Chain A
Amino acid sequence: MASETIPITVEFTGGLEMLFADQRKHSLSVPAKDERGQAVTVGWLVHYLCVEVMKDPRKEMFVLDGHVRPGILVLINDADWELEGEASYALQARDNILFVSTLHGG
């Protein structure tokens, strides 16, 4: 069932939305399995967003050295992904994945 997909919501805030066509909220249908037949994870999603969704050339503002750039928090259903297994968390239908760029102005 290679065509099986799961619906998720991806959101960007703190200026990251500027890298994603100025759109804060993206409703996506992503494949349920990756190319090796494994359930897709948040780590897989980061790569997918970079390749499939992000049109802006500034990839390094989102992913640096293969990891989400320092200064970006990843939240799975409003909880720090470090509480949920980080990149290895397997995506579930209707998950909300929020990417927050830290602000420094004041």
Chain B
Amino acid sequence: MESASASAQALREQIAATEARLQKLKDELAQVEASDAARYLNGLSLNGGPVTPQNGSAKWPLLNEEYQRYGRQMIVPSIGIQAGQLRLKSSSVLIIGAGGLGCPAAAYIAGAGVGTIGIVDGDTVETSNLHRQILHSTSKVGMRKAESAISYLKSLNPNPTYIAHTEHISPQNAQEIVERYDLVLDCTDNPASRYLISDVCVLLSKPLVSASALRTDGQLIVLNSPPLPPGNEAGGPCYRCVFPKPPPAESVVSCGDGGILGPVVGVMGVLQAVEAIKIIVEGKLAPSPEIQEGLKATPTSMLLFSALSPQPFRSVRLRSRRPGCFACSKDSGLSLEGLQSGSLDYVLFCGLASSANVLTPEERIEAAEYAKIREREHLLLDVREKVQFDICHLDGSINIPFSAFQGGAKAENDGKVPTWLPESLPKEAPIYVVCRLGNDSQVVTRKLKESGLDSGGKRWIGDIRGGLKAWKQQVDENWPEY
């Protein structure tokens, strides 16, 4: 066994080294090709007259290779070359988030020949990303997402200029990053960054293509398009026009907690690329002054995608700019200086999840300690959703999902013995509550004690600190972590 795993390790190292060498060669090739192109373009601008360089004639605005590469999209009548391909080539697009939305969006934006592409992401690649984040691969686990994405994109199309921003977007860096680009794609995964990105796009007059996804649903909305200054009612609505108040933090579910089907978020990312290309090709990045004068209020629409619905796509009509909007109305309270100085706390605005450290240390037990008392009479209550319980659970545990403990109606049951409590369990036998990471289990423990199930302290009720993740770390390394 040991020698087999040793030779597997040796092979893995050899593969990693070879892949690194291959990547280096690809990068060198991309550089050589880029300097070739630069030389060609220089020749073009210096010699106005007819010349006959090796790869064709200077009268052609694209490289020979580009005619082949973009030919299939250039012969689409609504694209063409002047309004289409050349506009794409001279435009710049910022993709914020290199995850399930950003990966497919970036692949099509790069493939289409957008001239400059920026990728913002402060995270590193994890194995759990790979089923949907298609620019990353198994060998890139641990690598910066922005860099991993760009290495894929370079091998897909070496022509664009790629810029990696290996940090999360923040009020402090947002202006500096966003102002270098013509158009922004919001491919992030939380409300705080969605409000921030919308605000920055309003302040810097950038159209914004925003999408989101969870489980089997997705949503797409084009915001601040046309990107007219705050106070101009003809501009497109911003995120705050549609969602003036953030949702309560408890109602926000991440892909990590709620799950996500890969192609669902993929569809939404691809649709973002479609909308971005439309805005560029239709000349809507910055409307001319004449257009600005003549425009009336511009309502927007939201595309809803529900993979399980008999009619999976549905478009709904939304409002135009909201009078009195905090960001884009004439009464706007936003400014770039205010943003820089940190006067707007987006994380606070969207609220913090309140689950951390609800319990005192005495109400919690380490996974390793719990492992030692497993033989004694007790109840292990697993409060993960059933679909997660079905993947793996500890022997003897019973499953009552966290959602069943939420809501005001439960108060009616206070003082009564819950139906899920086994009748055979002695009145003073302790109850251990467990979940995936040790947050929900604290909330449930508190609720159980408040309902009087601890018989005034005679029965110990507490949670397993760090949940089943800690169980894997401390007790059973073969425990499946999903």
- The residues in A between 76 and 97 inclusive whose CB is less than 8 angstroms from any CB of B are 78-80, 82-83
Is A64 positioned at the interface, with any CB of B under 8 Å from its CB? Answer: yes
In whole angstroms, how far apart are the Cα atoms of A42 and B186 in the complex? Answer: 32
Is B352 positioned at the interface, with any CB of A under 8 Å from its CB? Answer: no
Contact A59 B407, CB 8 Å, known A70-B248, A103-B218: yes
Contact A70 B247, CB 8 Å, known A57-B410, A100-B304, A104-B194: yes
Is A9 positioned at the interface, with any CB of B under 8 Å from its CB? Answer: no
Is A98 positioned at the interface, with any CB of B under 8 Å from its CB? Answer: yes
Q: Which residue of B lies closest to A100 (CB)?
A: B304
A106–B247 CB distance below 8 A: no
Please name all residues of chain A whose beta carbon is closer than 8 Å to the beta carbon of B99 when the two chains form the complex. 106
A59–B212 CB distance below 8 A: no
A71–B189 CB distance below 8 A: no
In whole angstroms, how far apart are the Cα atoms of A64 and B246 in the complex? Answer: 13
Please name all residues of chain A whose beta carbon is closer than 8 Å to the beta carbon of B218 when the two chains form the complex. 103
By CB atoms of chain A within 10 A, which of B189, B245, B265, B316 has the most?
Answer: B316
Contact A70 B246, CB 8 Å, known A58-B403, A103-B218: yes
Contact A104 B254, CB 8 Å, known A58-B406, A69-B248, A78-B314: yes
Main secondary structure on B side of the interface with A: mixed
B316–A104 CB distance below 8 A: no
In whole angstroms, how far apart are the Cα atoms of A75 and B102 in the complex? Answer: 28
Least CB distance from A68 to B in Å reads: 11
Q: Which residue of A lies closest to B96 (CB)?
A: A106
Least CB distance from A72 to B in Å reads: 8
Q: Which residue of A lies closest to B411 (CB)?
A: A57
Q: Which residue of A lies closest to B239 (CB)?
A: A102
Please name all residues of chain B whose beta carbon is closer than 8 Å to the beta carbon of A106 when the two chains form the complex. 97, 99-102, 186-189, 211-213, 255, 265, 268
B217 touches which one: A13, A61, A70, A79 (CB < 8 A)? A13
Residue interface bits B400-437, CB-to-A below 8 A is 1, else 0:
00011011111000000000000000000000000000
Is B318 positioned at the interface, with any CB of A under 8 Å from its CB? Answer: yes
B407–A56 CB distance below 8 A: yes
- Classify chain A's interface size: 20 to 34
- The residues in B between 11 and 33 inclusive whose CB is less than 8 angstroms from any CB of A are none
In whole angstroms, how far apart are the Cα atoms of A61 and B408 in the complex? Answer: 11
Please name all residues of chain A whose beta carbon is closer than 8 Å to the beta carbon of B316 when the two chains form the complex. 73, 75, 78-80, 98, 100
B97–A71 CB distance below 8 A: no
Is B80 positioned at the interface, with any CB of A under 8 Å from its CB? Answer: no
Is A105 positioned at the interface, with any CB of B under 8 Å from its CB? Answer: yes
In whole angstroms, how far apart are the Cα atoms of A16 and B186 in the complex? Answer: 23
A82 touches which one: B101, B268, B319 (CB < 8 A)? B319
B317–A14 CB distance below 8 A: no
Q: Which residue of B lies closest to A79 (CB)?
A: B317
Is B315 positioned at the interface, with any CB of A under 8 Å from its CB? Answer: yes
B251–A61 CB distance below 8 A: yes
A59–B408 CB distance below 8 A: yes
Least CB distance from A69 to B in Å reads: 7
Residue interface bits B241-260, CB-to-A below 8 A is 1, else 0:
01111111011111100101
Please name all residues of chain B whose beta carbon is closer than 8 Å to the beta carbon of A56 when the two chains form the complex. 403, 407
Contact A102 B213, CB 8 Å, known A15-B253, A15-B258, A78-B315: no
A103–B213 CB distance below 8 A: yes
Please name all residues of chain B whose beta carbon is closer than 8 Å to the beta carbon of A104 when the two chains form the complex. 189-191, 194, 212, 214, 252-254
Is A33 positioned at the interface, with any CB of B under 8 Å from its CB? Answer: no
Cross-chain pairs A/B with CB under 8 angstroms, 8 sampled? A57-B409, A57-B410, A71-B243, A71-B245, A78-B314, A80-B317, A105-B254, A106-B102
The 6 A-B residue pairs with the shortest CB-CB distance in the complex, in nearest-first order: A71-B247, A57-B407, A57-B409, A70-B245, A58-B407, A105-B255
Q: Show the binding face of B for A, using Cβ within 8 Å.
A: 97, 99-102, 186-191, 194, 211-215, 217-219, 242-248, 250-255, 258, 260, 265, 268, 299, 302, 304, 306, 309, 314-319, 403-404, 406-410
List 10 additional A-B contacts (Cβ < 8 Å) besides A13-B306, A105-B214.
A15-B214, A57-B406, A71-B246, A71-B247, A82-B319, A103-B212, A103-B217, A103-B218, A104-B212, A106-B101
